[in-house]
Amino acid sequence: MIRVTVWNEFWHETRHEAVKAVYPEGIHAVIADALRKEPDLEVRTATLDEPEHGLTDDVLESTDVLTWWGHMAHDQVSDEIVKKVQHRVLCGMGLLVLHSGHFAKIFRTLMGTRCSLKWREAGEKERLWNVEPGHPITQGIGEYFELPAVEMYGERFDIPHPDETLFISWFEGGEVFRSGCTWRRGHGKIFYFRPGHETFPIYYDANVQRVLVNAVRWAAPVCIVPYPGAPNWAPLEPIQEKLNPYGKAGVVQDIE
C-alpha cells in the first residue's frame, strides 16, 4: 500500500467564488478522490491552515508520496516545515509538485534555482506531447492529449536540467514548456507536472488523473533510508584492517 498525502493551500477555494464554483471542496479533494479509486493507494489530505500545515512529524513519517499545490500563499509556509519535508524527501519520500507549486518554498529549495517562468492567463488550448512513451509516468497516455482552456506557462523555466523530460506543452499563442520533469534528490524522486490552474477544471480530466496516479506509483520509495542531519558523517574506523604494501597487517618494516 502506498501512503499518499495530498497537500493544498486551500485559500483560493475559500476566498474566491469563481474558484469555489469549480472546486467546491478544494483542489485537494478532487485529486484525493481520483487517487482513492486505486486500490493500492491510501490517501489523506492536508491544508495550509491546519496545525503545522497538516504536515506533522507523524503525518510525514507515514507518507510515502506527498503531492503539493500552492499559489497565493507560498510565503505563509513555515520554513521549519519546509526543512522537515526536504529532509523526508532526501530520505526517500516522493514529491509531486503541481502547476503553480513551481514557486513553492519546498520546490525552490530542492531545485536550488528561482524556478521562474513566463505565463499568460488567457484560457488557451494546451497540447501536451508525450515524449517518453515508455516511462512509467506516461503509461496509458497517447502520443499527446489536449486541455481546452488553461493558463499558459512558457519557457524559459528556470530549473536545473531535469533527469527526464516526459511532457512538452504547446500553446495556441505559440509558446512551449517542459510540462513534466523528474529529478532525484538524495533518495527521493520528484516530479513536476504543469497542468492545474485553479479556475479551470483541469484536475477532473482523465488524462491528468492518470498521470498523477502513475506518478505516485513511480515516486513511491522502496524504503525510507536514514539521511544524515549533519553536514558530514562522523569519521569512522575502517571496516577492514589495513594491510601494508607487503600483504601483512601491522607496521611496515624496513627492507634492506
Name the residue ranges covered by the structural domains of the chain. 2-112+180-219
Tell me the fold of 2-112+180-219.
Answer: Rossmann fold (3.40.50)
**Which residues are CB-contacts of 198 (< 8 A; sequence separation ≥ 6)?**
12, 13, 16, 19, 22, 23, 27, 71
Amino acid letter, residue 195: P
pLDDT band at residue 243, thresholds of 50, 70 and 90? low
225-232 long-range contacts (CB < 8 A, ≥24 apart) are 225/91, 225/92, 225/187, 226/91, 227/87, 227/90, 227/91, 227/186, 227/187, 229/87
Give pLDDT tens digits for 59-72. 999 999 999 999 99
Give pLDDT tens digits for 128-177. 999 999 999 999 999 999 999 999 999 999 999 999 999 999 999 999 99
- CB–CB of 180/137 below 8 Å? yes
The pLDDT value recorded for residue 183 is 98
Judge whether residue 205 has pLDDT over 90: yes
Q: Hey, which residues does 46 pair with through a beta bridge?
A: 7
The pLDDT value recorded for residue 80 is 98
| pTM over the 0.85 mark | yes
Mean pLDDT within 37-56:
98
